Amino acid sequence: MNLSTIDTIIVLAYLVGIFVLAQWVSREKSGHQKDAKDYFLASKSLPWWAIGASLIAANISAEQIIGMSGSGYALGLAIASYEWMAALTLLIVGKFFLPVFLRNGIYTMPQFLEERYGPNIRTIMAVFWLGLYVFVNLTSILWLGSIAVTQVTGMSQFAALALLGGFALIYQLYGGLKAVALTDIVQVSLLVLGGLLIVGISLDRIGGDAGVLGGFKTLVAAHPEHFKMILTPDNPFYKDLPGLSVLIGGMWIMNVSYWGFNQYIIQRALAAKDIAEAQKGVMFAAFLKLLMPVIVVLPGIAALMLVPGLDKPDQAYPKMMALLPTGVLGLVFAALIAAIVASVASKINSVSTIFTLDLYNKRGKQHDEAHLVKIGRIAASAAIVLAIFTAKPLLGSFDQAFQYIQEYTGFFTPGIVVIFMLGLFWKRANEAGAIAAAVGSFALSIVLKLAWPELPFMDRVGLVFLLALALAVIVSLTLRASSDPNRIRTDDVSYATSGTFNFGALGVTAILIALYAAFW
């Protein structure tokens, strides 16, 4: 597969256009020097549409497009639960978490932990998140994105890694979060358009004279086992998605951790000008999440009929791109690059934010704003270089990288959810209990994986959550702190939401019930 001249022009036009737009929207007024608030939180001025689009752009990248298409090829529509259950999770985040974070002027998640518990847990979790973002998130996006770029262009995979990482770095290096968030509406629009094009063309090819709708019916009839949302124990992929656990078990823990307490996600909402704008942005993102399986899962299922017999499931999306006509291929390829660049840039910015504000600036010496911005840019550059050189050693041997990401982040997410949920809603929780939950989550996950290997990882996540919760409560009650460092105010927080938010929440819930009923 090679790009034609027209396809190449489309891709280059996108790259130049999005770079110029990012620099333009993040420019400062004459005489104003960019400070830490400008760089890391977009001057606390993001509108709802930028928040919603940026939440999706940060989330949907190569590990979703390539990885979830691969999982769609292997196990079917059931993998869409990650997307559809996330829509409900976003509503919970908007109603119960964001009011506390914004009321207390939170910039980063480690900062919340220090103000609620004390400085030690802030440092521990800042180091953990930096490692996770660089060696799991950044590497997975770049690795899976480079697979697609290599198959489309024929360049070496390392060159693809370097070009994707390098462009994402320079794209956001000057403007910070503002450069990322205010251009993400363009990125998401291109992502949706490109995704719908590949789905429409694929289904039309399957349906022949019957068109797209006929193609979908043919696909369902040919592979009914790939259109079951709730897998039964006899399914070979039950261990990945264990039945009802996707509705009432460990997936909730995974989603609450990701959407509620994950810096590179929640940072967009923290940059809102007020709580109402943040909640509207979250609602916009929830509706977009309902559409995502059409874009990221359905192409993988369609590949069963159009490009059967793949060596690895993660080849599904790139192989489907090879079927696209000239011009459309360039647009879809540009959409894929848009998703990769937006997500990588988001994670780079969050790495620089946590390193600068939660580690570097907490060493005792106070630094001026320009110096902090400079350190943030250095941290961003170092992060992308590390990710480029460690991507292949860490991910090169996996068939379904998306499942790898979920399982190994699942070692830590139960403890993260325990720490934040108790911090938000139980005043007796203390730093000793929080540290016990963090350490216990990892240790218990390792023990259960070794002692009970047949236990599905999602069920393990749910079980470890309950155990870590019990551990945190017992330690908090047993080891009473000599002083209460809690500086988080919740007494005057209002959890009331607008009629628009409530109506939208009912709409999202109704659509989800209909989807699960249709594909049970």
User: Which pLDDT band holds residue 364 (cuts at 50, 70, 90)?
Assistant: low
174, burial (CB in 10 Å: exposed 0-12, middle 13-18, buried 19+):
middle
User: Which pLDDT band holds residue 451 (cuts at 50, 70, 90)?
Assistant: very high
> What pLDDT sits at residue 398?
60
With a CB cutoff of 8 Å and minimum separation 6, the contacts of 471 are 433, 436, 437, 440
Lowest-pLDDT range, 101-105, 220-224, 360-364? Answer: 360-364
DSSP secondary structure letters along 43-67: GG-B-HHHHHHHHHHHHSSHHHHHH
Is the pLDDT score of 137 beyond 70? yes
Structure tokens at 9: 């022009």
Instruction: Name the residue with higher pLDDT: 98 or 191.
Output: 98
φ, ψ of residue 335 in degrees (nearest 5): -65, -40
Closest C-alpha among 357, 342, 348 to residue 377: 348
Q: What is the mean pLDDT of residues 408-420?
A: 89
Instruction: Name the residue with higher pLDDT: 311 or 513.
Output: 513
Check: CB of residue 346 under 8 Å from CB of residue 264: yes
Closest C-alpha among 186, 486, 198, 204 to residue 339: 186
Q: What is the mean pLDDT of residues 229-243?
A: 87
Per-residue pLDDT tens for 428-438? 999 999 999 99
Residue with tokens 């198959």: 151
Check: CB of residue 177 under 8 Å from CB of residue 271: yes
Instruction: Name the residue with higher pLDDT: 113 or 480.
Output: 113
User: Which pLDDT band holds residue 86 (cuts at 50, 70, 90)?
Assistant: very high
DSSP secondary structure letters along 197-228: HHHHHHHHHHHGGGHHHHHHHHHHHH-GGGG-
Is the pLDDT score of 333 beyond 90? no
Per-residue pLDDT tens for 48-83? 998 998 888 878 876 678 778 888 998 889 999 989
Side-chain half-sphere exposure of 45, counting CA atoms within 13 A: 10
Alpha helices for 76-234 (secondary structure H): 81-92, 98-103, 109-116, 119-132, 139-153, 157-173, 177-181, 184-207, 211-222
DSSP secondary structure letters along 373-396: HHHHHHHHHHHHHHHHHHHHHHHT
Is the pLDDT score of 221 beyond 90? yes
Is the pLDDT score of 36 beyond 70? no
Instruction: Name the residue with higher pLDDT: 513 or 237.
Output: 513
Q: Is 368 left (phi over 0), alpha (psi -120 to 50) or beta?
A: beta
pTM: 0.87
How many CB atoms neighbour CB 243 within 10 A?
18
Instruction: Name the residue with higher pLDDT: 424 or 367.
Output: 424
Per-residue pLDDT tens for 8-31? 898 899 888 888 888 887 776 665
Which string of b and e fits 112-126 if b means at least 16 CB within 10 Å? bbbbbbbeebbbbbb
How many CB atoms neighbour CB 451 within 10 A?
8
> What pLDDT sits at residue 179?
72
Averaged confidence pLDDT in the chain: 86
Q: What is the mean pLDDT of residues 255-263?
A: 91
Is the pLDDT score of 310 beyond 70? yes
φ, ψ of residue 46 in degrees (nearest 5): -70, 135
Structure tokens at 17: 């256009």
Q: Does domain 5-23+43-402 have CATH number 1.10.1040.10?
A: no
Q: In the 3-class helix/strand/coil scheme, how is 392-456 assigned residue by residue?
A: HHHHCCCCCHHHHHHHHHCCCHHHHHHHHHHHHHCCCCCHHHHHHHHHHHHHHHHHHHHHCCCCC
